[in-house]
Amino acid sequence: MTEGAKRLSALLTRDVLEAFAWGHSFERGQDYAEAGLVRNLRATETGIMAKVTGTHIRTGLDEEPPAPSGKHTIWRLLPADGTVLVEIFLYEEDVATAWREAQSRGCASRLWLELAGRREKTHPADAIAIYRKHVDDLLRQTGNPVYEQAVNYLDKIRNLHQGADGKAAFQAYLQDLRNTQKRKRNLMKMLDGKGW
């Protein structure tokens, strides 16, 4: 066994095999490896990387799988945007790369919120923009639980605004929000209760 093969063999842990199976199970990851579906296996500084062949990416929910061919085929539904990559970069604590990927390809709203939370201290303007969009999305719905979430994000936005200019910008935003959402009486009561 070559030195590289020994190193790779040592790195093929239970966690790595689970990762090959996208968290489904150790056994499925082991099946992939034993069936020869794990290709281009190589060591990196942080672990190992590999391509699992025989998987197909589906981007449409209405897409029909092909007729069975007798070969082992795995279907995985993945978003068409950068959600998976952003999630990977965030998991690896590479927030800057996750941000760039989200900017260029887009991602799920939950990941935008996570990015905003991680960038609040270093890039408050980015976080404010994401939180504002989320508030707008929330307020397309009605109901007290939605209003409570919106008010919580408005509080985050207010806290991120710094100095007199920031306070004035928040007040202008809040006034615009009050004007556009004035028919939602319970939301108005919650905003009044904050004393902004």
Q: Is the pLDDT of residue 150 over 70?
A: yes
Q: What is the mean pLDDT of residues 67-77?
A: 47
pTM for the whole structure:
0.61
φ and ψ of 77, to 5 deg: -90, 115
pLDDT confidence of residue 82: 81
How far apart are the C-alpha atoms of 54 and 76, rounded to whole Å? 10
| 154 Ramachandran zone, left/alpha/beta (phi>0; psi -120 to 50) | alpha
How far apart are the C-alpha atoms of 162 and 169, rounded to whole Å? 10
Q: What is the mean pLDDT of residues 15-37?
A: 52
Q: Is the pLDDT of residue 75 over 50?
A: no
Among the ranges given (3-7, 156-160, 170-174), the one the predictor scored with the smallest mean pLDDT:
3-7
Among the ranges given (33-47, 66-80, 157-171), the one the predictor scored with the smallest mean pLDDT:
66-80
Q: Is the pLDDT of residue 120 over 90?
A: yes
The confidence band for 20, taking pLDDT boundaries of 50, 70 and 90, is: low
Identify residue 35 by its one-letter amino acid code: A
The confidence band for 32, taking pLDDT boundaries of 50, 70 and 90, is: low
pLDDT confidence of residue 166: 87
How far apart are the C-alpha atoms of 153 and 138, rounded to whole Å? 10
Nearest Cα neighbor of 150 from 184, 112, 115, 120 is 184
